[in-house]
Amino acid sequence: MGECAICERAVETTRHHLTPQNRKESPVAPICDPCHRQIHAVFTNHELKHRFNTVADLKESEEMRKFASWIRKTNKSHVRVDETEHVSDWRG
Ligand SMILES: [Zn+2]
Ligand SMILES: [Zn+2]
């Protein structure tokens, strides 16, 4: 058990690499499974590396603020998150 750095719930957390293209040296943040899936569904690794490479940046993004306020109300530890077109288009 830990505390999610995004939604601040006391739940099981996973390790998110803040700069995904450089996993070895990347700082990691404890993030719950739903928030973690959401991060990778709405942001590309490129955006994570360049724009959202700190917990504060992620947390203040509109996408994650909306998601965090929703997940806090649900009490869910696992959710299905679909990759947004924004991310799948980028992957090609
Ligand atoms: Zn969370
Ligand atoms: Zn991650």
pLDDT digits (tens, 9 = 90+) for 31-83: 999 999 999 999 999 999 999 999 999 999 999 999 999 999 987 888 888 88
Q: How far apart are CA 18 and CA 78, in angstroms?
A: 21
* Ligand 1 center–CA 54 separation, angstroms: 15
Q: How far apart are CA 40 and CA 64, in angstroms?
A: 11
Domain residues of the chain, as ranges? 13-91
The pLDDT-based confidence of 4 (bands split at 50, 70, 90) is: very high
The pocket of ion ligand 1, defined by CB under 5 A, consists of: 4, 6-7, 32, 35
Q: Which is nearest to 61 in space by CA: 70, 76, 51, 50?
A: 51
* Ligand 1 center–CA 43 separation, angstroms: 16
* Ligand 2 center–CA 66 separation, angstroms: 18
Alpha helices in 5-92 (DSSP H): 33-42, 45-50, 55-60, 62-74, 85-91
